[in-house]
Chains A and B, each alone.
Chain A
Amino acid sequence: MSQARLIWRKSLNAVMLTLTGVAAFGVVSILFLILGYLIWNGGRSLNFDFFTQLPKPVGETGGGMANAIVGSLKLLFLAALMGLPVGLLAGVYLAEFGGKMFTFVIRYTTDLLNGVPSIVIGIFAYTLLVLPVKHFSTLAGGLALAVMVVPITVRSTEEFLRAIPGSLREGAMALGASQWRTIATVVLPAASGGIITGMLLSLARVAGETAPLLFTAFSNRYWSPGWSQPIASLPVMIYTYAIAPYDDWHRQAWAAGLILLGLVLLANMGCRLVLNRRGMTRSV
């Protein structure tokens, strides 16, 4: 028995481990295909003008998406400001304080919110923030994105807080820390790697969303001062340019896609750097 079984187990081991490698390789190659496509098509029309000029009408070459880049940054800033704290604190509640029934309900609701199509969230933000004041605004767009940021942040915060072993919490409490101190100074930092990942994932997801912005932030061919005017954003520009018949616009759309990716990359790198420097990388 033992000899045959051992061979079976060993070969199963080899096969399965190889398969996981194949899967990882497959996914990574698709990734490189997409990135490569984006870089190839987008890189060709990236120039200094792209970052500094306003969009030009069709037929005139040049022109850029300076206002859309700033616009996306402003919108993401609002989404982070309004959505991340809600997600973080709600996740803390679910993991640390909640009772069984209530946490079940909240978790369920969060998953529901996550599944709502972005265009429905856009309609929701429209009826709430645009119709009453009769104009489109950056604020409305930021809110729509914030609503989308919350569910992903909540889920990942909760998951990673729960993954911290109870021994860590008990140790802190044995030393006299109150519950909230334990959470703030011991548990959260320990889970910060995963939590930051979740936050970045949520921001990355909304950075590329078009539908919720169509009825809230609208778009703008000019600069948008303040927070109550329509504002341009990279995804909406990509959408508008990609379905137009002009080659020049197509190239700009790819370039915008590349920029979007670049912004997210920078944000990712920045966060990792900060985490590393403070020594708050993965524990265990």
Chain B
Amino acid sequence: MKRAALSMLLVLCLAVIVGAQNLAINAAGATFPYPIYSKWFDVYHSQHSNIQINYQSIGSGGGIRQLTAGTVDFGASDMPMNDDQIKEFQSKNGCGILHFPTVIGAVVPTYNVPKVAGDLKFTQKAISGIYLGTITRWNDPEITKANPGISLPGDDIVVVHRSDGSGTTFIWTDFLSKASSDWKTKAGSGTSINWPVGLGGKGNEGVSGLIKQTPGSIGYVELIYALQTNIPFGLVQNLDGKFVKASLEGVTAAAAGAAKSMPDDFRVSITNAPGATAYPISSFTWLLIPEKFKDTNKRDAIKGFLKWMLSDGQQYNEALSYAKLPKPVADKELKAISKIQ
């Protein structure tokens, strides 16, 4: 017993000594890009063995808060920080914050309609109506007219949404606000909102679990989630009027349109983007990097990572079902890295 305790003590001491030589960087934020971020940080660590970037997905809002409080070195978020949040960061930390888009993802509508096997098409009016609670049955004309070959039952629509605050909800509600002015006034967009109707599921898992269990239900999940778990999802009508099924190409097309008018701080929403093949419910996700670093080692490590991420890192995206950044956007970001001091 004593010997075991002594050897444990020895191991702990060794661990402290060994650990002290590594550069440990902590980051927190969005859950949506967690898989690709964990891949990137792992690959980067294998190439630079003394740099350990520890990223935890506690949610976009949590990431912003921890970043502002100074408990993590950088953050990540599915939605850009708004002006108030940037001001708060500035007052607490004495410098500005830079946004760096990393990957593009999409949110898709999934459903469970009895006796319907094929892919359903949803107009913008249909989705907003369903989520507002004005469209209540599956055989509502707004849905049937977009799906001429499919016979839809008269069952009630059970609406499912996310109960936990999440970037996915932000992307979905941002799209709905653009698709329907009614939605914009009644509910608005955000990571957590006052839903007019529906059940709340926790996480993608919760939503898809509810949908699987509930006939006649409809909900929204991240594209990656739908692809990885093989659940059926529908097509959404984009700004140009075409019905698009979410895919990596459609998502990149949505981003490409935005690349031309990309603001310098990269804070842009690409939902409902123009373009015949653009998928309307797409979004960037951002890394939030402070403009000034006190620790020069950390600063250089992070800058090095960003450079790598924007060039070599992008090759890992598609295997994990994330879309690559359009080249003009990546190039613009590479230039922006020099702003970090």
Residues on A facing B (Cβ under 8 Å):
55-59, 130-131, 134-136, 214-215, 218-226, 229-230, 240, 242-247
Q: Is B6 an interface residue (CB 8 A)?
A: no
| Nearest chain A CB to B303 CB, angstrom units | 21
CA distance in complex: A193, B54 (Å): 43
Contact B228 A245 (CB under 8 A): yes
CA distance in complex: A230, B26 (Å): 9
Contact B26 A135 (CB under 8 A): yes
Contact A57 B58 (CB under 8 A): no
Closest 5 CB pairs of A and B: A225-B19, A243-B203, A245-B225, A57-B39, A225-B15
Contact A218 B319 (CB under 8 A): no
Contact B16 A225 (CB under 8 A): yes
CA distance in complex: A225, B106 (Å): 38
Residues in chain A near residue B150, CB distance under 8 A: none
CA distance in complex: A247, B227 (Å): 12
CA distance in complex: A214, B57 (Å): 10
Query: Who on chain A is nearest to B164 by CB?
Result: A243
Residues in chain A near residue B55, CB distance under 8 A: 221
| Nearest chain B CB to A109 CB, angstrom units | 30
Given A57-B35, A57-B42, A58-B39, answer yes or no on A219-B71 (Cβ-Cβ < 8 Å): no
Contact A134 B69 (CB under 8 A): yes
Would you mind naming 13 contact pairs between A and B with Cβ atoms under 8 Å apart? A58-B35, A58-B36, A134-B71, A221-B52, A222-B24, A222-B52, A225-B19, A230-B56, A243-B202, A243-B203, A243-B205, A243-B206, A245-B204
Query: Who on chain B is nearest to A228 by CB?
Result: B16
| Nearest chain B CB to A211 CB, angstrom units | 11
Q: Mark B133-161, 1 if CB is under 8 A from A, else 0.
A: 00000000000000000000000000000
Q: Is B90 an interface residue (CB 8 A)?
A: no
Given A134-B70, A245-B229, answer yes or no on A226-B19 (Cβ-Cβ < 8 Å): yes
Query: Who on chain A is nearest to B55 by CB?
Result: A221
Residues in chain B near residue A240, CB distance under 8 A: 34, 56-57
Residues in chain B near residue A226, CB distance under 8 A: 12, 15-16, 19
| Nearest chain B CB to A178 CB, angstrom units | 31
Contact A58 B203 (CB under 8 A): no
Query: Which residues B53-77 have CB closer than 8 A to chain A?
Result: 54-58, 69-71
Contact B320 A130 (CB under 8 A): no
Residues in chain A near residue B206, CB distance under 8 A: 243
Given A58-B39, A221-B38, A245-B224, answer yes or no on A130-B229 (Cβ-Cβ < 8 Å): no
Q: Is B18 an interface residue (CB 8 A)?
A: yes
Q: Mark B1-33, 1 if CB is under 8 A from A, else 0.
A: 000000000001001111110101010100100
Residues in chain B near residue A58, CB distance under 8 A: 35-36, 38-39, 320
Contact A219 B56 (CB under 8 A): yes
| Nearest chain A CB to B136 CB, angstrom units | 30
Q: A57-B41, A243-B204, A245-B205 are in contact. List 12 more A-B contacts (CB 8 A).
A: A56-B42, A58-B320, A130-B71, A136-B26, A221-B42, A221-B52, A223-B19, A225-B16, A225-B19, A229-B19, A230-B56, A244-B205
Contact A59 B225 (CB under 8 A): no
Contact B205 A242 (CB under 8 A): yes
Contact B228 A246 (CB under 8 A): yes
Residues in chain A near residue B56, CB distance under 8 A: 218-219, 230, 240
| Nearest chain A CB to B267 CB, angstrom units | 26
Q: Is B222 an interface residue (CB 8 A)?
A: yes
CA distance in complex: A56, B41 (Å): 11
Query: Who on chain B is nearest to A218 by CB?
Result: B56
CA distance in complex: A3, B24 (Å): 82
CA distance in complex: A220, B55 (Å): 8
| Nearest chain B CB to A96 CB, angstrom units | 31
Residues in chain A near residue B43, CB distance under 8 A: 57
Given A220-B54, A243-B204, A246-B35, answer yes or no on A131-B71 (Cβ-Cβ < 8 Å): yes
Query: Who on chain A is nearest to B34 by CB?
Result: A244
Contact B71 A245 (CB under 8 A): no
Residues in chain A near residue B38, CB distance under 8 A: 55, 57-58, 221
| Nearest chain B CB to A256 CB, angstrom units | 16
| Nearest chain B CB to A84 CB, angstrom units | 17
Residues in chain B near residue A220, CB distance under 8 A: 54
CA distance in complex: A281, B24 (Å): 48
| Nearest chain B CB to A71 CB, angstrom units | 12
Residues in chain B near residue A243, CB distance under 8 A: 31, 202-206
| Nearest chain A CB to B191 CB, angstrom units | 16
Choose from B20, B28, B228 the contact partner of A247 (Cβ within 8 Å): B228
Residues in chain A near residue B69, CB distance under 8 A: 131, 134
CA distance in complex: A56, B42 (Å): 8
| Nearest chain A CB to B94 CB, angstrom units | 14
CA distance in complex: A135, B69 (Å): 10
CA distance in complex: A55, B19 (Å): 18
CA distance in complex: A245, B205 (Å): 7
Choose from A59, A131, A229 the contact partner of B39 (Cβ within 8 Å): A59
CA distance in complex: A84, B54 (Å): 32
